[in-house]
Structure formats: structure tokens, C-alpha cells
Amino acid sequence: MTTTAPAFPTHPFPPDFVWGVATSSFQIEGATNKDGRGDSIWDSFCRLPGVIADGSDGSIACDHYHRLDEDLDLIAGLGVNAYRFSVSWPRVQPSGSGAWNEAGLAFYERLVDGLLARGIKPYLTLNHWDLPAALQTSGGWANRDTVHRFVDYAIGLNARLGDRVASIATHNEPWVVAFLGHESGIFAPGIKDRAVAAQVSHHLLLSHGLALQALRAQGCKASLGIVLNLAPVQAATTSAEDIEQAHLEDGRLLRWYMDPLFKGGYPQDVLDFLGEDGPRIEAGDMQQIALPMDFLGINYYSRSVVSAAGPWDAKTSGLELTEMGWEIYPEGLTQLLLRLHQDYAVPPLYITENGGAFKDSLVDGVVKDDDRTDYIAAHIAAVGAAMRQGVPMCGYMVWSLLDNFEWASGYEKRFGIVHVDYATQTRTPKDSAVWYRAFLRAQQLAHAPLNVALTEV
């Protein structure tokens, strides 16, 4: 941990580089029973005993639904030029099909218009995990019909917001929905079935492709893509068993999503591993999934180390860990970006999430989170290093704007660059937010002399 703020990363980012902060609907909005919103699978999941570390839920969260204007001013105050948010599907279409909820649509219109009025580009995600609970009663993502419901949802939202958002991502981290939601079962909807998880992953990818096609057919001008959680996967030792296990894990985490999206097929080693638990694929599905995208969003937090002997203990690595127990490994971000660039014909890339949970304390209105600032600065530098080696990066977004509901960890883990006092809902920018604002200001100034010179000519 440093005692002074880290120097600004020196890579010359282009003037049109997208700098943002990110959130998601269920994690910040609260107001889960307000104005006609339907239940999501996360509302139902939180009601199960013992699944959320602190027994909490999303019913209040950061109360963002009621504090939209204040939060928009907060975002603008950071000096970012982009804000990544997600739409709560059950807020705009309570049962996931049929009737739309005007109050919900109006909320997101106010959000998008409020961003544009402040000169901030809206980056919308359609599915950041809060599937309408009504769809789960008929199988949720395991049911192929949900794919078509999702496409209808995408079309409906595009009709209201598509002309004003800069970008639409179909899904956030399909691996999490499929694996944590349906195989390990630690996230909603809490199913533990490997075959169901494989089918869910296929339906998520298929719905991505079909939504892309439908949005383009509607004339949507927003840049279209998907957001994946990716990491370099490393073997714990040089033993053949560890290397083999790491290769399989790389297949399940990265190639299972990247190969169908960019190469038109699932990796054979993972199909072989799944055997009869592999997904049912219909004719034409793979072509649909592989439609060209305008961008790929990558959420990066750490590397993944794999040992054939069982779960690997990050504490043994000697690297610093965040409060999530995740290793701080910025060089892994450069490695990952170079690998994606080399192995796949990737479109322009964004880091759509990057940040850390740390033990924060608010003292006299200040949160001295140098560890978080160091984390962010090191990862921005890692993006710069990848760009110097030719990777087509066009944006970076910090996770997260606010401390928020961190899924199964509840409110115990704080990722925000802005502190939230949940008792009063007071927002206090942490030192990391002050640093990010100063960094972005320095970026602007770095480009200013050139602009002045051009104007004078």
C-alpha cells in the first residue's frame, strides 16, 4: 500500500478514449416493489435462507431509483465521458413477456436523457442477471423460449432508448449466469446441475446473436456487443495434471464463449469433457451466435490459478489480495488482451469492469483508499501496455461508481469509488474517485494543446 497517490499512467490514450464508471440495476436501484416492477430471480433468491452472506437483499440497495438526479450529478462530477448501467428487465416488462411497464421505461428514459444532458455517453446492458422471476417458473434460461422473450425485450427497449444510447451489450458475464447460477448454484437461481448450466450458456449465447440480428433489423445505430468475464488461466505448478486442468478451465471460462462468438463452434475439449451433459444445439444456432459484433466488453479482476489437487489457495501466492480474496495481478490484464488479439479476430475492446473491494473506513468525511487507487492505476497502465503492442482498446470503466449489493456477499464488500452510508444513503467520493477525476482531467489537458494549435491554424 502506498501513502501517496500513484503517478498517472503515462500511456498517451487517444482523445476519444472512453472513460467511465459502471453499475448494474439490481445492485444499486432498490425500489424493488415500486411503480409496477416485477420480481427478478435475485429477489426470489435473496429470500432463500443462508444464500446471502449478511442476509440482505436488493430492496433498498443504494436507493438509486429515488436518487437518480443526485447520482447523475455525482457521475458528471467525476469527469467521465461514459456511464455503463443495466436495465432491470422486470422493471420495464414485469413478467418478462407481454405488457410493458410505462413507469419503468420512463425511469430509464430519464437516466439516458440525464446522461446526455451532462455530456456523458450511455452504455446500456440488457441483462445483468436480474431475469424476471415469472420466466424462471417456466425454466428461465434453461428454456429455449426465454431466448425469444429476450429478443422481444431487446426490441421493445430499443424502440424507447436505442436512438440515444451509445452502446448496447446483450449480456453481462454469461459464464456467471450459467456456472454460478446453474452449476455451483451460489448465485440466482441457485440450481446445481452441470447439464442445465451448459444448456443455459448456449441459450444465453443464442439470445445474444438473435438480439443482435433483431436490433440491426430495427435500424439500431448503437454499437452492439457482449460483455464477458475473462482471465488468464495459469497452472499452479508445471505438473502435467495441473497443466491439463488449467487448459480445461481455460476452455470452460474463456474458449467456451470466445470460440462460438468468433470462430463459430464450441471447443471440442470442453464438449468431450461435458459428454452427455453438453448442450442441445439446433441447426443454424452456431451461425447465429457468431454474428459480427461492434465491440467486445471484458470484465477483468484477477487471474485464475488452477491445481488438479483441488481449489487453489490464493493466500499462498505472495501476491496482495483484495477483500474478495482475489489476487492483484494487473499484468494478467495485458496478457489476456494480447492473447485475445492474437487468437481471435476481435472487434474494438473495452474494459467494461475493473476494480477492487477493499476495507474502507470513512473518517471525517474522507475514505483513504490508496489500495483501490493503486489497483485502478496499475490496471489502466496494463491497458496502455496492451495498446502499445497493438491491441485495439477503446475504453476503460471502473467497477463501481458506488458501493453496492455485491450479490452473494451482500453489502459486506465495497467496490465503489464513492462510499455509500447505507443508513443515510449519503454518498462520499473516496480518494480513488478524487484520483480518477484528476487523472481524467490530466488526460483532457494532455490533448488540449493540440486542440488549441489546430483551432489557431
Write out the residues near ligand FCB by the rule CB under 6 A: 24, 27, 172-173, 176, 229, 299, 353, 399, 406-407, 415
Question: Strands 362-363, 366-367: parallel, antiparallel or unpaired by DSSP?
Answer: antiparallel
Counting Cβ atoms within 10 Å, is residue 235 exposed (0-12), middle (13-18) or buried (19+)?
buried
> Cell numbers of 174, please?
454469461
Cβ closer to ligand FCB: 353 or 374? 353
Cβ closer to ligand FCB: 13 or 375? 375
Instruction: Output the smallest distance, CB 98 to ligand FCB, in A.
Output: 28
Instruction: Output the smallest distance, CB 104 to ligand FCB, in A.
Output: 20
Instruction: Output the smallest distance, CB 328 to ligand FCB, in A.
Output: 14
Instruction: Output the smallest distance, CB 309 to ligand FCB, in A.
Output: 26
**183 classed as catalytic:** no
Cβ closer to ligand FCB: 122 or 416? 416
Instruction: Output the smallest distance, CB 46 to ligand FCB, in A.
Output: 15
**173 classed as catalytic:** yes
Cβ closer to ligand FCB: 25 or 93? 25
Nearest in space to 21 (alpha carbons), one of 296, 329, 353: 353
Cβ closer to ligand FCB: 88 or 229? 229
| Residue found under cell 467456451 | 256
Instruction: Output the smallest distance, CB 126 to ligand FCB, in A.
Output: 14
How many residues does the structure list for the chain? 457
Catalytic residue among 29, 249, 327, 353: 353
**CA 452 – CA 457 distance, rounded (Å):** 9
Dump the DSSP string for 23-36.
--HHHH---TTSTT
**CA 431 – CA 344 distance, rounded (Å):** 38
Instruction: Output the smallest distance, CB 299 to ligand FCB, in A.
Output: 6
* Contact partners, residue 81, CB within 8 Å, separation at least 6: 18, 19, 20, 119, 120, 121
Nearest in space to 303 (alpha carbons), one of 346, 336, 277, 344: 336
Cβ closer to ligand FCB: 177 or 286? 177
CA atoms within 13 A on the CB side of 130: 30
Instruction: Output the smallest distance, CB 129 to ligand FCB, in A.
Output: 7
8-state DSSP, 314 = G
Cβ closer to ligand FCB: 176 or 188? 176
**CA 149 – CA 11 distance, rounded (Å):** 44
Catalytic residue among 29, 173, 183, 406: 173
Cβ closer to ligand FCB: 232 or 443? 232
Which 3 state secondary structure label does DSSP give 131? coil
Q: Where in the sequence numbering do the catalytic residues fall?
A: 173, 353
